[in-house]
Amino acid sequence: NAGVTQTPKFQVLKTGQSMTLQCAQDMNHEYMSWYRQDPGMGLRLIHYSVGAGITDQGEVPNGYNVSRSTTEDFPLRLLSAAPSQTSVYFCASSDRDLVHYGYTFGSGTRLTVV
């Protein structure tokens, strides 16, 4: 099993550009989430999904869109990149047994907006 796969690992964008961060999991997990991690701020939830076709906003959703057309994929779209979106982005997934297993994280995408 590959687990949670994120692409790209690194990306530099210019202000105003758009892009999609890809996330795929092969564990048939229902729950998927996107977090961003910034120095001094910890991990903050952007969007999450409890199954195909169902998404909801987290703590910091502005400037990001998500969709969940399949169980496996949960892409994160930056609509118009801003320097404030420079961060490390983590995708995570879990099955229904969150109590015991929590979330499994991808290796992250390091995004710089200039």
**Least distance CB 76 / another protein (angstroms):** 15
Instruction: Determine how β-strand 87-94 pairs with β-strand 54-57.
Output: unpaired
- Count of residues touching another protein (by CB under 8 A): 25
Query: Residue 4 and residue 64: Cα distance in Å, rounded?
Result: 20
* Cβ-contact 29, 95 below 8 angstroms: yes
Instruction: Output b/e per residue, 48-73; b: 16+ Cβ within 10 A.
Output: bbeebeebeebebbeebebbbeebbe
When the beta carbons of 9 and 80 are compared against another protein, the nearer one is 9
- Give the integer Cα–Cα distance in Å for 57 and 1: 29
Least separation in angstroms between residue 54's CB and another protein is 10
Q: Stretches 13-21, 60-68, 72-80, 105-113: which one binds another protein (CB under 8 A)?
A: 105-113
Comparing CB distances to another protein, the nearer of 48 and 64 is: 48
Q: Tell me the closest approach of the beta carbon of residue 7 to another protein, in angstroms.
A: 14
Shortest Cβ distance from residue 41 to another protein (Å)? Answer: 7
Using rule CB under 8 A, residue 8 touches another protein: no
